[in-house]
């Protein structure tokens, strides 16, 4: 698949995350509001259309990937986004990155582990805390799995 990674402006990130997830974005590490400094990259196809977005927040030598969204599955967009983000984060002096997913997202868990991320924390019943702020979050997630917990993964970039 032809295409390219490119930086994306804060307004696009804010709009996309609002539409996809709604504010605040809540991870195992913290909550993010639309005002937080979140950076990212997009993947554009050969016609210039955005086909994916990865967004992160940096604090010193650590970063958290806030969102990985490939708009079409099975085209390796997620892998390209993650590789690009890791390269950009290294260039910015980041040596440790974390990412959060939910217990129902088995595909994401496999994807991150294949790419060197390690499971470091299981946050039991985290989704109940999320629902206190975002009541529309469903009780049942992917594959009919009860949506209950968050899983934090880490990777050293050095």
Question: pLDDT under 50 in the chain at which residues?
Answer: none
Question: Quick one: pLDDT at residue 35?
Answer: 74
CATH class in words for 3-156 = alpha beta
Question: Quick one: pLDDT at residue 76?
Answer: 83
**Cβ 117 vs Cβ 83: under 8 Å:** no
Question: Quick one: pLDDT at residue 74?
Answer: 66
* Strands (E) located in the chain: 3-7, 25-26, 31-32, 39-45, 50-59, 62-70, 96-102, 118-123, 150-156
> How do residues 12-54 score in pLDDT, each as one tens digit?
999 999 998 888 899 988 889 887 789 999 998 888 788 899 9
Distance CA 45, CA 30 (A): 32
Q: Which of 66, 62, 70 is nearest to 43 (CA)?
A: 70
Question: Quick one: pLDDT at residue 88?
Answer: 96
């Amino acid at each position: 698949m032809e295409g390219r990674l490119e930086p994306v402006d804060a307004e696009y990130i804010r709009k996309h995350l609002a539409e996809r997830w709604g504010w605040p974005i809540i991870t195992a590490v913290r909550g993010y509001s639309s005002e937080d400094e979140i950076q990212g990259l997009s993947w554009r196809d050969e016609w210039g259309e955005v086909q994916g977005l990865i967004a992160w927040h940096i604090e010193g030598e650590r970063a958290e990937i806030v969102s990985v969204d490939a708009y079409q599955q099975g085209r390796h967009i997620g892998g390209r986004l993650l590789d690009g983000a890791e390269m950009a984060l290294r260039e910015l002096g980041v040596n440790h990155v974390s990412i959060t997913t939910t217990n129902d997202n088995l595909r994401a868990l496999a994807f991150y582990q294949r790419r060197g991320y390690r499971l470091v924390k299981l946050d039991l019943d985290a989704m109940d805390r999320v629902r206190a702020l975002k009541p529309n979050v469903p009780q049942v997630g992917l594959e009919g799995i009860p949506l209950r917990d968050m899983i934090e993964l880490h990777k050293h970039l050095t």
